[in-house]
Amino acid sequence: MSTGSRHGSGDQQASPSSSGRRAGPTSFIHFNNGVSVYRGKLDGQTVIVKAYEALGFDGLLREITAYERLLYLPTVPKVVGVFGPSDMAWAALVIEDRGISLDSEQHWATLPLQDRVMIYDTAVDFHLAGVHHGDLAARNFVRDKEGRLSIVDFGHAVVGHACEPDVCPELSDLRQNLGL
């Protein structure tokens, strides 16, 4: 029975954007420090959507800057886009979905040596590219169905970092946490 909608497209608020992209249903992942994270579909691709409240825009800018700097690294997801309302009450960063957080599997000190070495090599790569992550933890590494690891969440990152990996504090802490 009709409910009297005159728009013919149901009661969903979402609508195709002017670029003709199609968004699919989203599922909530978590909320922390004013940032809500969702998994959704865009043009048939699974994506991660991080919605920042205005108070957290500093973190959003840090993420965008770091992702741009690390565009060429295969272990870092690509940014699909950034969107928000015209009043900028919030803004959302959309990145490729690279899988499930390691934190939901096991603590990283118990990961196979091969994974721990891969995590460390990934961190060295982005340090050499001039990025200090600022929040290196198992929850910020994700693994896809093929077993490939990626690093995410650059909300505390500093771009312009220069270091010698053997003596860099963040990398030294990481080696210790990984038992390397």
Helix (H, G, I), strand (E, B) or coil at 15: coil
168 scored as a contact of Zn ion (CB under 5 A)? yes
42 scored as a contact of Zn ion (CB under 5 A)? no
Of the candidate residues 69, 127, 133, 143, the single one contacting Zn ion (CB under 5 A) = 127
Q: Compute how many residues bind Zn ion; rule: CB under 5 A.
A: 3
Beta-strand runs (E) in the chain:
27-32, 35-42, 45-53, 79-83, 90-96, 100-101, 131-132, 141-143, 149-151, 158-159
Window 135-164: residues binding Zn ion (CB under 5 A): 163
Closer Cβ to Zn ion, 104 or 172, answer by number: 172
69 scored as a contact of Zn ion (CB under 5 A)? no
Of 18-26, 102-110, 123-131, 139-147, the segment contacting Zn ion by CB under 5 A is 123-131
92 scored as a contact of Zn ion (CB under 5 A)? no
Closer Cβ to Zn ion, 44 or 160, answer by number: 160
- Taking the C-alpha atoms of residue 60 and residue 57, their distance in angstroms, rounded to an integer, is 5
Rounded least distance, CB 98 to Zn ion, Å: 22
Question: What length does the chain have?
Answer: 180
Q: How is the beta sheet containing 100-101 ordered, strand by strand?
A: 100-101, 141-143, 149-151
Rounded least distance, CB 169 to Zn ion, Å: 8
Cα dist from 122 to 11, 12, 78, 82, whole Å:
45, 41, 15, 25
Rounded least distance, CB 157 to Zn ion, Å: 12
Cα dist from 132 to 9, 33, 125, whole Å:
46, 20, 11
Q: Applying CB under 5 A, which residues contact Zn ion?
A: 127, 163, 168
